[in-house]
Chains A and B, each alone.
Chain A
Amino acid sequence: MGKTLFHKIWDEHVIHEREDGNVLLYIDRHLTHDLHHRLFPLIKAQGLSVKEPDKLFGVPDHSVPTTAKTVDDIPEGEMRDTVVGLQKAADEYGFHHFGMTDDRHGIVHVVGPEQGITLPGITLVCGDSHTSTHGALGCIAFGIGSTEVQHVLATQTLWQRKPKTMRITVTGSLGFGVSGKDVILAVIRAIGAAGGTGYAIEYAGSAIDGMSMEGRMTLCNMTIEAGARFGLIAPDDKTITYCKGRPFAPTGAKWEQAEVYWRGLVSDTDAAFDHEITLDGDEIAPMVTWGNSPQWALPVTETVPDPARESDPLVQADMQASLDYMELKPGMALSEIKIDTVFIGACTNSRIEDLRAAAAVAKGRKAKTRTLVVPGSGLVKKQAEAEGLDTIFLEAGMEWREPGCSMCIALNGDMLAPGERAASTSNRNFRGRQGQGSRTHLLSPAMAAAAAVTGHLSDVRDLMKEERS
């Protein structure tokens, strides 16, 4: 029987297999960010060191204020200590570090692929759940906890249980105004926030083939919101073109060798998955979430659901709790939900294509809400400015910020006030995620821009009708 893409990569990295099926895996790339700076003194205290510093890449993102250009711009305190702490560790152990004044600096999951650190066929880890993002390039990339981070630092390996495999096939092609964000919200809605728990999810089908690398990264990014630690897509021409010439990608004979290998990284036609799901890509509409789990997503054309229609009392209670927290009533049109703040950014949707999509909607319009546009890296920012996207945002009355995680996790001063409601391109609508008492509706960059210029959740397809025809 054939092998799945996941198994092909996995098997190449097994150092040792125990009788109970647990394996010791070799890790090709390790990414780290400011929140891990305390782990370096911890391994030191155990008499350990960083085993392969050339495979470790650090970038401050969670704690960087998006109004600051340098470390000195950060006010004294926790935020600054965290950013400085990572820099110090990089100096001490000699791993790659892209500091705030480096154009390569940005959100760890934007920087990895952008720099060619992320490549098809590798194993990549980071102490961050959205490490699943990198699987879009056809690799095994997963989030780990901080004890596991210490283990990788000290040994460049990790003990793992092999996950089950699931294939999600998205057929057809995506319609106008529909993006990777809408696909993943439709997927999570279909399988539930725990639907992927214990699985590695491979995405396939014509709608996935048709997606850009950015769209694929959005899809894999939020795979963790369906419970799966791994999302991956077989590398194709687009992937290989994307990787070519990136600073940390192989060159010359090594590139030739890699390309031959990468071209074989597909699930064999007779490979068996533990679970298979098919979605019709033509049917997917722009999505928004209404509750406090990404699974509470609906097409923007629908209304807030009624928990009373739900038969399972536990689900009913969960829905009701979400409605109470979000201050929404069953039956109201989703497009009637008024928004206070719009956030366009986060590792989900802060790449150049995302900013282009938002700018296309913002162009010639005025924002009715406070709107923050936060590029995913210094290089994305530069590219956007070269294309004049910053001018479009600024003319629309939106704020154009320095790269970082920003309001996705609200650790850098960018946050919502209690009760405030955001339309956000980030990946979590959890209670309090964007500030204590904050309310979050997740959506795509185009939909976020539409919410900004109308002041409420809106179907971007209606807004863009004229331009389209």
Chain B
Amino acid sequence: MSGKPKLEPFTTFASVAVPIDIANCDTDQIIPGRFLRKSADDPDYHRILLHDLRFKPDGSETDFVYNRPPYRGGRIFVADINWGCGSSREHAVSVLTANGVRSVIAPSFGDIHYNNCIKNGVLPIQLSSEDCATLRRQLRESPGAEIAVDLETQSLTGPDQTRYDFTIDAFDKHRLLNGLDDVGLTLAFEDEISAFKTKYAAKHDWAT
């Protein structure tokens, strides 16, 4: 299968990790709707991530965990159930990448956000609720502790050196490891697509 690398390929990765103790953290919280018309080129784009949790209406900072050193700048988030539920806005991933976040670990993800992460080189890792709670507790207790992720072996190492294995769809893994973009992949299927269309039109003329 062809396709050219477009994104930074994901290999092994270690970073300070940030515990986000919010269940059902929807994409409206990750990026409030009023910023949706902002271009990712905006120099202040990174400030939009979790904006209303991080900034007071007057623009000053709250004591939200991601504002506090040494968590600030952490490139791995450990979240709670249903991270990224709600709106399909891909900006919710752009604001993660604008802050250098490359992986989110959570017990479950909103389906659309999960796909959006994969398409932008952000690795969503699903671990059990208990494991995520343990990691968040360790990160709270040891600010600045790191997590190391290895996509090839589908495992990560927690702050206390415990190893956790995770599963990921083979195609998603392939995309992330190679930084591939789907359009590149699909263009190689041109012939198959036009053959399909001929067959489909013959059978479902009403739909074409």
Residues of A whose CB lies within 8 Å of any CB of B are 12-13, 15-16, 18, 20, 22, 24, 26, 28, 35, 38, 46, 48, 62-63, 78-79, 81-82, 119, 121-122, 127-129, 143-148, 150-151, 154-157, 159, 161, 163, 193-194, 197-198, 224-225, 227-229, 250, 254-255, 257-258, 261, 292-293, 295, 314-315, 317-318, 321, 409-411, 418, 428, 430-433, 436-437
Contact = CB atoms under 8 A, between A and B. Distances in A.
Nearest to B83: A194
B57 A437 contact: yes
Nearest to A415: B34
B87 interface: yes
B183 A150 contact: yes
A143 B112 contact: yes
B70 interface: no
24 contacts: A12-B203, A18-B171, A20-B169, A20-B171, A24-B186, A26-B200, A62-B36, A121-B207, A147-B120, A150-B183, A155-B193, A161-B171, A193-B82, A194-B24, A194-B85, A250-B206, A292-B24, A293-B26, A321-B22, A410-B33, A411-B36, A428-B86, A433-B28, A433-B33
Given A28-B207, A127-B88, A193-B82, A145 B112 contact: yes
A128 B36 contact: no
Given A22-B171, A129-B87, A194-B82, A315 B23 contact: yes
B111 A15 contact: no
B37 A35 contact: yes
Contacts of B28: 428, 430-433
Contacts of B89: 145
Given A20-B169, A78-B37, A431-B52, A258 B206 contact: yes
Given A12-B204, A35-B36, A293 B24 contact: yes
A119 B207 CA distance: 8
Interface string B100-143: 00000000111111011001100000000100010000000000
A12 B208 CA distance: 13
A227 B33 contact: no
Nearest to B169: A161
Given A147-B119, A430-B29, A22 B36 contact: no
Given A16-B189, A26-B193, A159-B171, 18 more contacts: A12-B204, A16-B192, A24-B189, A63-B37, A82-B37, A128-B88, A145-B90, A146-B116, A194-B82, A194-B108, A197-B111, A254-B206, A293-B26, A318-B24, A318-B80, A430-B29, A432-B28, A436-B57
Contacts of A156: 193
B52 A148 contact: no
A146 B90 contact: yes
B183 A227 contact: no
A159 B185 contact: yes
A129 B183 contact: no
Contact of A144 (B86, B112, B192): B112
A411 B88 contact: no
Most buried by A among B182, B203, B207: B207
Contacts of B95: none
Contact of B29 (A38, A143, A409, A432): A432
Interface in B37-86: 37, 39, 52, 57, 80-82, 85-86
A48 B187 CA distance: 11
B205 A257 contact: yes
B155 to A, nearest CB: 20
Given A129-B86, A428-B86, A411 B33 contact: yes
A276 to B, nearest CB: 20
B60 to A, nearest CB: 14
Question: 9 smallest A-B Cβ distances: which pairs?
Answer: A258-B206, A145-B116, A20-B170, A147-B119, A194-B82, A318-B23, A145-B90, A250-B206, A254-B206
A52 B181 CA distance: 21
Contacts of A431: 28-29, 52
A155 B187 contact: yes
A225 B110 CA distance: 10
Contact of B183 (A154, A198, A224, A411): A154
A179 B205 CA distance: 36
B196 A15 contact: yes
B9 interface: no
Contact of B24 (A82, A119, A193): A193
Contact of B23 (A24, A148, A314): A314
Contacts of B203: 12
A224 B170 CA distance: 25
Given A194-B81, A314-B23, A432-B32, A229 B39 contact: no
B90 A147 contact: yes
A411 B82 contact: no
Nearest to B1: A18
A428 B115 CA distance: 21
B111 A151 contact: no
A314 B109 contact: no
Given A38-B39, A129-B112, A151-B186, A145 B119 contact: yes
A117 to B, nearest CB: 11
